[in-house]
């Protein structure tokens, strides 16, 4: 998968991705995004599938799916 010639990788998120995810959410809703408050719980929730798009070793997008 690639975006404008840049390789992308989709994978499950890990605790170590927190800084990248916080950087993404920093600009959402004028800095009032809910993602910082749910990040850890989504990682631990067995019914949540929390994924990120990685580009050049950094997470640049996230999505969660609950089943």
pLDDT tens, 5-62?
778 999 999 999 999 999 999 988 888 899 999 999 999 998 889 999 999 999 999 9
pLDDT at 6: 73
Backbone angle region of 56, left / alpha / beta, with phi > 0 → left and psi within -120 to 50 → alpha: left
CA end-to-end span of the chain: 25
User: Can you tell me the distance from the alpha carbon of 27 to that of 37, in angstroms, rounded to the nearest whole number?
Assistant: 15
66 or 37: which leads in pLDDT = 37
pLDDT over 60 (residue 2):
no
When pLDDT is cut at 50, 70 and 90, the band that residue 66 belongs to is confident
Tell which CATH classification among 3.40.630.30, 3.40.50.720, 3.30.2270.10, 3.20.20.10 matches the domain 2-66: 3.40.630.30
Q: pLDDT band for 3, please (50, 70, 90 cuts).
A: low
4's CB contacts (< 8 A; 6+ apart) are none
């Amino acid at each position: 998968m690639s975006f404008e010639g840049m390789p992308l990788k989709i994978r499950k998120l890990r605790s170590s991705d927190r800084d990248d995810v916080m950087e993404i959410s920093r600009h959402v809703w004028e800095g009032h995004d809910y993602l910082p408050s749910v990040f850890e719980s989504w990682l631990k929730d067995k019914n949540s599938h929390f994924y990120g798009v990685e580009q050049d070793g950094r997470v640049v997008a996230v999505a969660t799916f609950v089943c």
